[in-house]
Amino acid sequence: MMTIWQNLDSSNNKATQIVEQIRLHIEQQQLKPGDKLPPQRQLAERLAVTVGTISRAYAQAELQGLIESKTGSGSYVKSPTNYQQQWGSLKGNNQHIELWQNTAFTQARAQQLVPLLQNYAQAGEQLDQLLDNDHSQNLVAQRESVCAWLNQSSSCFKPEQLFLVMVPSMG
């Protein structure tokens, strides 16, 4: 496995370059889910960097969902996330849609969101109406607006099937 690692460019952030190599090797299937990454010290020697650089790279790759580290065992390539299930998928008896999950954006996740965001961009005025923060509008009208938007994509939601929750923004 050590032969897949490329020498690093000294003009760019080395930890970021290592993360990009991990991402590229996963995309090219040179690294597959469950594959164990080299120990940090071994990879540091191979790439002529400090162990701290490898630690930062592995931590960044883990935050981006590329790998998972197991204490005492090592770091492993993660199985790909089912983004359809994670973002707005139908759950259980198909009467509820889960849009509550707040997850960080990574390059891999952003690519999976392109079709969803394109749909949002095409929604135009109707999306503006859905996202309007005028809370004086009654709840039934909000549910009807959400249903009309969801049902554009062959869904069959009824206003009484929706449960809307409004929470303050944290920021």
Reported pTM: 0.50
By CB atoms closer than 10 A (0-12, 13-18, 19+), residue 13 is: middle
Identify which has the larger pLDDT, 111 or 37.
37
Rank 2-11, 12-21, 107-116 by mean pLDDT and report only the highest: 12-21
Longest alpha-carbon distance in the chain: 64
Identify which has the larger pLDDT, 169 or 164.
164
pLDDT surpasses 50 at 155: yes
Per-residue pLDDT of 92-150, as tens digits, reads 444 444 455 555 556 666 676 677 767 767 766 766 666 655 544 556 777 777 778 77
Which pLDDT band holds residue 17 (cuts at 50, 70, 90)?
very high
* Residue 129, amino acid: Q
Per-residue pLDDT of 65-81, as tens digits, reads 899 999 889 999 998 76
